[in-house]
Structure 1
Amino acid sequence: MIVEITEPGLVVLTMNRPERLNALGMGMVEEMRSALTELDDDPSVRVIVLTGTGRAFCSGADVQSAVEGFGAPDPDKNPVAGVFRVQEQIASLNELIHRMKTPVIAAVNGAAVGGGFSLALACDIRFASESAKFGSIFITLGVSSCDMGTSYLLPKIVGISRAAELMLTGRKFDAEEARAIGLVQDVVDDGDVVERALQTARQIAANSPMAVWMTKETLWKNVDAPSFRHALDMENRTQVMCTFSGELLNAFEAFVHKTTPTWKDL
C-alpha cells in the first residue's frame, strides 16, 4: 500500500500490486487493514481516497496465490473451518471501512470485480474513470455472489431488483452503466479519477470532524432502522450530542462575523 498525504487532512491510499491487478492476497488485506486502522486513529486525517496502481482498482481475490496454496488436505484439520477463517479475515476489511469514522471514497481507475467490486461498495462514495469495469463475478466461479457484504450493500445502493440481476448473471458492466444505476456519482477521463474524488473530499473536510463522523455513523445505522420512529430517535440523540460539542455555537459566531469556523479536532 502507498499512503500519500496530498494536502492537510486528505490521504490517498493506493493498492500497489499492479502485476496482479491489485488482487486481494492476504498480505495486501492485512497491509490495508493496518493502514486504514492507523489512518482512522489519526485525528488529522479527515477523508481517505482509495484507489489502485496501474490498470485496475482491484481485480478481486488473488486466485493465482490461492491455487498455488492448495496442497494435499490435512486429514486432522477441518477444511471448512480453514476456508471460513480466511473468508472472515477478508470480509472484515470491508466491515472496517464501513464502520470507520473517517469517510472513504473509492476512486475506481479500472477493473473493480469480485472482491474489488465489494471493496468499492464498502466505501461511502464512488467515482469512476471511463475505463472502469464492474462486476459481481463470484457466481461465474461456481460460488455465491453473496460475498464480502455485496448482498447487503448492493441492493441498498442500486435497488433489490437491479442487484439481483447483476448478482445472478455475474455480468461485467462499464462506468456509464454504473453511473446510470447510481453505483458511482461521476465518471471522468482516465487519469482524473483521484482528483475528482479529492474535490469531494475537500468539501467533506471543510465540515466539522464531529459532524462528519456522526453523519456517517448515523446514516449507516439508519439504513437498517426498523421504523421511521427509530431513525428519528437516533437522529435526535445525535443532534443533541453534536449541539453540546460546541460546534454549533462556533458556526453561529462565524456566521455573524462573516468568518470561517475553526472546528475542534476529534
Structure 2
Amino acid sequence: MTDEVLYQVADGVATITLNAPERMNTISGTMLAAISERLIEADRDAQARCIVLTGSGRAFCAGLDLQAQSKTESGGLGNLSTGSGAPGELEMRTAPPNVLHNVDTPTIAVVNGGAAGYGLDLALGCDFRIAADSAKLNTGFAKRGILPESGGTWLLPRMIGYAKAAEIAFRGKTLTAAEALELGIVNHVVPAGELAEFAGGIAAEIAANAPLAVRAIKRMMRAAETETFEQNVHHVYLQLLPLLGTEDFKEGVAAFLQKRDPEFKGR
C-alpha cells in the first residue's frame, strides 16, 4: 500500500489522508487504487463509524498527477480506473468516485486547502464538506479543455441547482471557501488552525450515534434521489423492521428513558 494514502482509525473515525504534499496531493495511478481500497476497508470495519477524507500540507487535492499519467502507455487515461480492464476500456466500478458514492459509512471531506479537478469531485462526492477559510474550490475544467470526469456533472447540480452549477462550470470559476459556503457546497468554514478540531468534533458526534441506523439513513437518503415519495416510504419501512430488533435500538430507548448518553455497539 502506498504511503501516499495514509489510513488510521481512532475513536470510531477512519481518516484517509492524501499524502503527497510536495505536489499538492495530485493523485497518481497507485493512489487511485489505494483510495478505493481504503474506502472499502473503512466501510467494512465495524470500528469505523465515520470516514474523514482530507489532505496533508497546504492542499486538499489539486487533481490527477497529469505528469505521471502522461508517462503511461495509454497517455494516462487508463489509470483513471483501479481495475484491470482490457486495453481501451475503463473499469470504473472500483474507481474512487464510484466507491465513495456507494459506501454506507458517512463521509466528510475536510478541505484543508485547494481542491481542483479530480480532487474537487472527490470532495463533492462526500456526504458533506468542512472547509478551512483559506480553501479554494477550482471548477476550471472548461479552461483546461476537459470536463468533470469523476462525478462533478452529477453532483454539483443536485447540490446547488442546475442554473448555479451551470454558471460556475461554464465560467470555470474558482470559489473561495466563503463563496462555497454561501452556495451551499460546503457546510462549514472555519479558521485553518481550527479545522482539524472542529471537523473531529463533528465526526465524533456521528460516530457516537447508532451506526446501523446512521448507515440505513444514508442508504435511504441516497435512494430517495431516484425514488418517488411512496417508493421511499415503503423502502424506509423495510429498513426499519430489522433495526427494531437490534441491541442498539433497545439501548437508545433505555438511554432516553434514563436520561443518559447511549452506548451503541453496532449490534
TM-score, normalising length from structure 2? 0.88
The residue aligned with 2:82 is: none
Name the SS of the counterpart of 2:192 in structure 1. Answer: coil
RMSD: 2.0
The residue aligned with 1:78 is: none
The 5-angstrom pairing of residues 202-217 of structure 1 reads 202-217=204-219
Give the distance between the partners of 1:42 and 1:71, measured in 2 at CA: 35
Read off the aligned partner of 2:229 and give its amino acid letter.
F
The residue aligned with 1:142 is: 145
The residue aligned with 1:264 is: 265
The residue aligned with 1:234 is: 235
CA shift for structure 1 position 137 = 2.4
Match among 45, 56, 60 for residue 63 of structure 2: 60
CA shift for structure 1 position 193 = 1.9
Query: 2:33–2:95: 8 Å Cα contact kept in structure 1?
Result: no
Read off the aligned partner of 1:2 and give its amino acid letter.
L
The residue aligned with 1:119 is: 122
1:103 and 2:106 correspond: yes
Give the distance between the partners of 1:65 and 1:4, measured in 2 at CA: 27
Read off the aligned partner of 2:157 and give its amino acid letter.
P
Read off the aligned partner of 2:64 and give its amino acid letter.
A
Give the distance between the partners of 2:47 and 2:18, measured in 1 at CA: 22
Give the 3 Å change call, closer, same or farther, for CA 128–84 of structure 1 in structure 2.
farther
Identity of aligned residues (%): 33
1:4 and 2:8 correspond: yes
The residue aligned with 1:192 is: 194
Name the SS of the counterpart of 1:22 in structure 2. Answer: coil
CA shift for structure 1 position 246 = 4.2
CA shift for structure 1 position 116 = 0.6
Unaligned 5+ segments in structure 2 are 76-85
The residue aligned with 1:174 is: 176
Match among 26, 31, 34 for residue 28 of structure 1: 31
Name the SS of the counterpart of 1:262 in structure 2. Answer: coil
The residue aligned with 1:245 is: 246
Read off the aligned partner of 1:185 and give its amino acid letter.
N
The residue aligned with 1:255 is: 256
Query: 1:137–1:171: 8 Å Cα contact kept in structure 2?
Result: yes
Give the 3 Å change call, closer, same or farther, for CA 229–64 of structure 1 in structure 2.
same
Match among 2, 13, 16 for residue 13 of structure 1: 16
CA shift for structure 1 position 215 = 0.8
Match among 83, 87, 90 for residue 85 of structure 1: 90
Give the distance between the partners of 1:119 and 1:154, measured in 2 at CA: 12
Read off the aligned partner of 1:24 and give its amino acid letter.
I
Give per-residue Cα distances to partners, 1:67-96, cap 9 Å, x unaligned: 233689xxxxxxxx746427x37x821111
Name the SS of the counterpart of 1:85 in structure 2. Answer: coil
Instruction: State the aligned residue count.
Output: 253
Name the SS of the counterpart of 1:192 in structure 2. Answer: helix
Give the distance between the partners of 2:74 and 2:109, measured in 1 at CA: 36
1:155 and 2:160 correspond: no
Read off the aligned partner of 2:187 and give its amino acid letter.
Q
Name the SS of the counterpart of 1:167 in structure 2. Answer: helix
